[in-house]
Amino acid sequence: MTTAARRIRLILMLRQAGVTDPRVLSAIELVPREAFVPDVFRDQAYENTALPIGHGQTISKPVVVGLMTQALEVGDRMKVLEVGAGSGYQTAVLARLCRRVYSIERHRPLLIEAEARLQALKLRNVTMMYGDGAEGWPAVAPFDRIIACAAAREVPAALADQLAEGGVLVLPVGTARDSQRLVRVRRTSDGFRTEELVKAHFVPLVDGAAVESGTLTAGLGSG
């Protein structure tokens, strides 16, 4: 099967799974997922499966990317914060839907690789930072939309506080993988409104520091 045929099959599968937003489907169709996975997994790039990308992280299933992006309700003039860049795949999808993406990644090697992929795709509306995504990016807040690609014990106050009024935060919440759920938080004029969407299975959001190649690094887990 050709790559084009695999992409079409993936889009049909996403529709069947509930991803119906035409802008989201178009963005996913335009992003070459094979460019964001290790060479050994390229033949599985358009399967509905999570794949390892190193450092204990994975690239999420396409259906998860589709459902999370759809839940975010991204407009083309919005400023979006992504917590956990990982391979850069979700970043690339977001970049085709909004004005600018700010993305944070705790693993420097993953960040370097993700930046190179996005540059190769000529996606120039992305700014990436190496650091602790649990704290958000206060210097460029507030954000119209925030998406976190790792599971938190509860909605991080720092991220919720960086939402603009009317803004939306989408992230998985829960400590055990079999009890996680995807939630959407809306900031209103008088506080926050939270709704549960679907069950989720993500790597945990890690506070504190991680040791990588002999270097002490602060941050959180990416998806």
Active site residues: 60
Alpha helices (runs of H) in 140-216, residue ranges in sequence order: 157-161
At residue 111, what are phi and psi to the nearest 5 degrees? -60, -45
Strand ranges in 75-116 using DSSP code E only, listed in sequence order: 79-83, 100-105
Side-chain-facing half-sphere of 146: CA atoms under 13 Å:
35
Distances (CA, A) of 60 to 80, 90, 123, 213, 215: 19, 8, 20, 25, 27
- The answer to whether the CB of 30 falls within 8 A of the CB of 80 is no
